[in-house]
Structure 1
Amino acid sequence: MSQPHIYDFGIVGNCAFMASINKRTDVVWMCWPSFESSFIFGSLLDKEKGGEFSILPVDEEFSSHQYYQENTNILVTEIEDSNGKYRVTDFAPRFPQFDRYFRPLMLIRKVEPLSGNPRVNVRCSPKGDYGKKNPQRVVGSNHIKYLGIGDEVRLTTNIPLSYVIDDEEPFFLNETKYLALTYGAPLEAALERTADEFLRATQKYWKDWVKSTSIGHFQQEAVIRSALALKIHQYEDTGAIIAASTTSLPESPGSGRNWDYRFCWMRDTFYTLQAFNHIGHFEESERYFNYIANISSKEKERFQPLYSIKGKSKLEEKILDLEGYLGNGPVRIGNQAHEHIQNDVYGQVMISLLPLFADARFHHENRFSSHDMMWDILKMIENTIDEKDASLWEFRDRSKYYCYTFLFQWAGSSAALKIASRFGDQKMMNLARDLKKRAFERIEGCYEDERGVYTQAAGSPELDAANLQLIMMGYLDSSSIVAKSHLKAMEKELRTKEGLFYRYRHVDDFGTPETTFLICSFWYVEALAVVGRVEEAIIEFEKLLKYTNHLGLLSEDVDAKTGSQWGNFPQAYSHVGLINAAYRIAKKLDKPMFF
């Protein structure tokens, strides 16, 4: 039996950028100056056009051990060959300074000999405009400037530059070396001392951040790693949270389901904010609230399913001339889903903004001036409640009346009712009640009595894992016969024997899905916990942990037959699913941690 496909890289980041670094020490994916920019290293999608930034041993045969420093986003790769052993520590500086967070566009690599006499090759060849541009190299006394790929990209190092320029010439690593890659403002301070100071400060920041999380006793290590991964998917300038830092990693080989996920999906706001709430992180939630509120304040007719990290609405989808991951094309940038009609998004936004009005911890200075914005969103629900849409799965050829859409119209109307009550707005309360009743009727129109299940859409026999949310959102009484029969019917049709969950099993515009969608599997675990099947929930949760890579990171999709990871990686929403499922189980167990 062949080995499953597992992504062999981890991520470092500082809420301004992320870099993906594989077990061979190569930076295989890094976009600068922001998540949505062109890569400067992109060998993940094209070995020839993607450039390279690696620190490799002389021997072609070598072993690698990669891990995170405990409770941090600092990545360590240890390499050993016949000559010796060395360690590469990669990090993006992040720490408080002058009453704000210092998070420069800077990747620091610390290279330390550990044993023997390791000989290494250092290669640094960034690219521009998705591999179309080769920068001009200008050599200084202890740095190389790469010109013509945006603002100045500079590599500052204490390695003799002749070894970096002539990347075929290895050198003995007999002392600690440093490499600092910067965009825009270069590192002008003393390299060695500054790099070590930044490393210590970054270590402290991440360890303190983890200490400030509120995490139950259930599967703490997995939740901490998921929380750390989720944290660096936030673009702190605006508060947006991207689905993934990568584009075009296929949902399954040859499927053509290759999407750009470097954007913020409005329709997933509720789950993401819920995850931050579950780990007790207020600052990240508030920044995300502000991003959502800023978009809500300027969109008066419709919300798109997704926006850029800066709130831009036009995300034109293009295909690039790149070979694709393991030869799997096409490579896409932009996402045509921004044009889709997805009417669940209004309810998602409404319930996401509810804490601004209902949670006393939030002091939102524009709370009362946001009353008009709440009205606008409620009117959007009213204007779309009788409209077909593309569902949360972004079908490109199936417009229907989806149960999941009605669920969030119901939930959004419920949230509006609470907000209206706080304002004492009787007119808003009346409209919210009416819409909640209409959404309820629409949901019940998707109920199939024979199987005791809510189907994907009105008049459709097909099932959809998204409808597990009927249980978690409180639409169905978790102790009711209906909730339990609904869950059993979903299990029967969508669950694999390995415990994974398909989104759906019908043919869509790209054929029949070949892989399972990981967040659906965590939704299943949540549903088990909510209906009281806690022991089963624990078993199924622990099964899902085997689908992480060597660093505890989760992909978007998993092939149930082989256990292979597919889809964009790491997937923020898979980690959101893990955090929320662990929280549900921990709350049900509700017992002291160490006794």
Structure 2
Amino acid sequence: MEKHIYQTGLIGNCAYLAHVNKNTNIDWLCWPRFDSSFVFGKLLDEKLGGEFSVQPEGEFTSSQQYLENTNIIRTEITCKTGKYQVTDFAPRFRQYERYFKPLMLIRKIEAIEGTPRIRVKCNPVWDYGDKELERLQGSNHIEYDGAEEKIRLTTNIPVNYVMEEQLFSLNETKYLVLNYGGLLDAPLVSTAEEFFRETKDYWRVWIKHSSIAGFYQQHVIRSALVLKLHQYEDTGAFIAASTTSLPEFPGSGRNWDYRYCWLRDTYYVLTSLNHIGHFEEMEKYFSYVTDISFAEGDEFRYQPLYGITGEKKLVEQIMGNLSGYRGNEPVRVGNQAYEHIQNDIYGQVLISLLPLYTDHRFVFSERKDSANWIHSLLNKIERTIDEADAGIWEFRNMANVHCYSNLFQWAGCNAALKIALTIDNKELEDRATALMARAAAHIEACYDPERKVYTHAVGSPYLDASTLQLIMMNYIDPASQKAKDHLAALEKDLKTEGGLFYRYLHTDDFGKPETTFLICAFWYVEALACVGRMDDAVREFENLMKYCNHLLLFSEDVSEQDGSQWGNFPQAYSHVGLMNAAYRIAVKLDRPVFL
């Protein structure tokens, strides 16, 4: 089988996300929210996914790149009649003391050589491809009726050419502005150009205000830009990925909807953004978590994931009308994992928000009811600390007392202890300390003294890459022989010849995993750096860089056999792993941080 690499790039503005294919088509765009029906969804069905492309007649070649330090994509097409480029972006910039981020996609089409003959197709759909939209022609626009709101395309291309999908000569710059639930009531060309300049400047200033060390800086910049797009700014929620149902490997059935906010994933995202000096995202997320924490009926436990506006019920449905990515069914909307018990998440919420109390750039006294909030989280830990759960990998029909879950309950209590010291609350200090000891007892019950390794759960012989975190979280002293032995045992069992890492190799609800999970390989790099194996850490990190696509974007899973990308894409987890591993190496190597 030919090596599989995703052929799209991601644009967005923290209100929506879209995937632009190298062939110019918008392969994925959900409106009005990250988790809404797709408007364009060829990613999951060639026939029912609609189309928004700018292509010539006949064969062509293409290349694609981001404008440096932005989330703006430029696609260059070479065909028999010439060469042209399409610039795609979602407007985002400061205006009237807030962020302007409309549900608007702007496409600029420019000739580079010759007089290319091109054809524009714009056929949005609705209800996951079940509904074609009625097209209504205006003088300079086309209105698409049948979605929740009207969709309007405004252009300086003759509207009949677009309606009839007719070839025309590109002899001047053309613009396509697609709006959801609104219209462009301003001049087309000057507005598109102004929005382009403002958006380009916004992203470049955001990067300039980042403190990024001089180790693989270009890759870290791209990963940071990708992660920023995964925050739904209206509420502060972060999603795991912009896509649903891209298979972990062909025919696996492991096709999941990742357009929701996992509390665990968000902890890792915020950690990586904190490393480069971005805290605005954390403050927005604090409001999101606070709303969840004090919602009626949520006093006992958190769900592992929520909708982007805090929805609790994310009922998983199979969309039988869609053929799936490259024919890989099923296509799922919703995620049954919202029903799972996953007890690591309380600790991760505490750790992710710890800087709000321990970093003096924040005024912790501005946080209302801090003691009550910490008490409520410690209550959740206390009630769940002895439970078997589904674990980080969300086993659907298997429950264990997982090492990873108790590690993050231990680490969360440690964070609570630090917050208690900051707010001078002795009662909280004592509770946190006692709960740390209880969590540690469960972790130690996972230790196998003969093999000198922590297994994935109490009473289990299996190894799991998530236990690398024991070293990274300083539960095991990274300088100790115990840390080196634990790392060596995981390395021996789970590392592949190509430098990738399996999550685990035992059978789960769907059989044995066939692809590696990319963030695990980055955790391995971090662990190498922690124990002082710096040459190995640098070598393994550099080796992982080859698993990106043409835009430095990384997938969830990678095939050890041929390096194919699989799973949802681009995956926030993978980009988080890259950023945290690069940061860990840079600190150890004392590489300068560029402020």
Aligned to 1:559: 559
Q: Is 1:164 paired with 2:162? A: yes
Once the two structures are superposed, residues 415-459 of structure 1 have per-residue CA deviations (whole angstroms, 9 ceiling, x without a partner) of 122222333333322221111111111111100011110000011
Aligned to 1:282: 279
Separation in 2, partners of 1:216, 1:422: 29
Alpha-carbon deviation of 1:91? 0.3
Alpha-carbon deviation of 1:130? 0.6
Alpha-carbon deviation of 1:3? 3.2
Aligned to 2:120: 122
Aligned to 1:511: 511
Q: Secondary structure at the match of 1:406?
A: helix
Alpha-carbon deviation of 1:368? 4.4
Amino acid at match of 1:231: K
- The counterpart of 1:176, out of the listed 167, 173, 177, is 173
- The counterpart of 2:135, out of the listed 137, 141, 144, is 137
Amino acid at match of 1:318: Q
Amino acid at match of 1:257: R
Amino acid at match of 2:527: A
With 283-292 and 28-37 compared, the bigger mean Cα shift is at 283-292
Aligned to 1:4: 3
Q: Secondary structure at the match of 1:568?
A: coil
Cα RMSD (Å):
1.2
- 1:293/1:353 contact within 8 Å kept: no
Alpha-carbon deviation of 1:283? 1.2
Amino acid at match of 1:310: T
Q: Is 1:354 paired with 2:354? A: yes
- 1:289/1:352 contact within 8 Å kept: no
Q: Secondary structure at the match of 1:88?
A: strand
Q: Is 1:312 paired with 2:311? A: yes
Amino acid at match of 2:262: W
Identical positions, percent? 61
Amino acid at match of 1:44: L
- 2:238/2:308 contact within 8 Å kept: yes
- State TM-score, norm by structure 1: 0.98
Amino acid at match of 2:487: L
Aligned to 1:540: 540
Amino acid at match of 2:292: I
Which residues of structure 2 form unaligned runs of 5+? none
Aligned to 1:291: 288
Aligned to 2:575: 575
Q: Is 1:256 paired with 2:253? A: yes
- 1:45/1:323 contact within 8 Å kept: yes
Alignment of 1:433-512 (within 5 A): 433-512=433-512
Aligned to 2:73: 75
| Cα 1:281–1:593 shift into 2, 3 Å | closer
Q: Is 1:195 paired with 2:192? A: yes
Separation in 2, partners of 1:366, 1:294: 17
Alpha-carbon deviation of 1:592? 4.5
Alpha-carbon deviation of 1:593? 7.4
Separation in 2, partners of 1:12, 1:272: 18
Which residues of structure 1 form unaligned runs of 5+? none
Aligned to 1:50: 49
Aligned to 1:408: 408
Separation in 2, partners of 1:284, 1:368: 19
Amino acid at match of 2:466: A
- The counterpart of 2:236, out of the listed 222, 235, 239, is 239
Separation in 1, partners of 2:309, 2:394: 22
Separation in 2, partners of 1:423, 1:18: 39
Aligned to 1:270: 267
Aligned to 1:226: 223
Separation in 2, partners of 1:230, 1:470: 25
Once the two structures are superposed, residues 131-176 of structure 1 have per-residue CA deviations (whole angstroms, 9 ceiling, x without a partner) of 1111111111100010111111000000001110001x20111110
Separation in 2, partners of 1:421, 1:593: 30
- 2:213/2:591 contact within 8 Å kept: no
Separation in 2, partners of 1:389, 1:593: 40
Once the two structures are superposed, residues 90-124 of structure 1 have per-residue CA deviations (whole angstroms, 9 ceiling, x without a partner) of 00001111111111000000000111121011000
Aligned to 2:30: 31
- 2:22/2:75 contact within 8 Å kept: yes
Alpha-carbon deviation of 1:73? 0.4
Separation in 2, partners of 1:340, 1:97: 42
How many pairs align? 591
